[in-house]
Amino acid sequence: MGKPSLVLAYPKLVWLFVSTLLLIWYELSYDKTHVYIYYSYFLVVTYSFFVWGIKALQLKTTVYTLKRDRLLIKRGILRRITDELELFRVRDFQLDEPIALRLFSLGNVALVTSDRTTPVIRLEAIPEINKLHEYLRNLVRECWDERGVREIDAG
């Protein structure tokens, strides 16, 4: 059981910080302060906090649950959606470790599946992604063996 890291919300927080600094610099660089500068400052900061708060709330309400034979992904703020993936449907894995996430020892894994509703499932900003990848791979192989699933390339 786990959640994506809040590191994914950091770019929005950086935008908030940079926009605030730019507005303060603009205000200090002119002798006459205008009322619209304060309004624009208030609007930009309020909007940025709102966007960052929504992103952080989306990340906090996403829960990954890995069971022996399936993966559950629950997400949603007001409306809760649960995606369920039977592990025997996983066909391939893709590990993604961008430099911004590697700085925090995080990574993403994409599961390519034979499921029609969700052909690709991404688990984002997961700590110790290599251990999770190996664990998932072993669980998928066990599910394949239990169900007698074999992959055939007809290409």
How does pLDDT run across 102-114, given as a tens digit for each residue?
999 999 999 999 9
Q: Are 85 and 70 in contact (CB under 8 A)?
A: yes
What's the angle, vertex CA 137, arms to CA 135 and CA 140, rounded to 5? 110
The pLDDT score that the predictor gives to residue 6 is 80
Q: What is the pLDDT confidence band of residue 95, given thresholds at 50, 70 and 90?
A: very high
Indicate the Cα dihedral angle 15, 20, 23, 29, nearest 10°.
Answer: -120
Residue 33 burial by Cβ neighbours in a 10 Å radius (0-12, 13-18, 19+): exposed
pLDDT value for 32: 60
Q: What is the pLDDT at residue 111?
A: 95
CA nearest to 24, candidates 46, 47, 41, 42: 41
> Residue 113: phi, psi to the nearest 5?
-125, 170
Provide the token pair at 120. 């690709």
pLDDT band of 80, cuts 50, 70, 90 = very high
CB 114 within 8 A of CB 122: no
Tokens of residue 36, six digits: 């619209």
Q: What is the pLDDT of residue 155?
A: 58
Q: What share of the chain is helix, strand, coil (3-state, %, to 5)?
A: 50, 25, 25
Model confidence, pTM: 0.78
Residue 2 in tokens: 């786990």
- The model's pLDDT over 96-149, given as tens digits with 9 standing for 90+, comes to 999 989 999 999 999 999 988 889 999 999 999 999 999 999 999 999 999 887
Q: Quick: pLDDT tens for 15-59.
A: 777 877 877 777 777 656 666 667 777 787 788 788 888 988 999
Reference 66, options 140, 119, 120; nearest CA is: 140
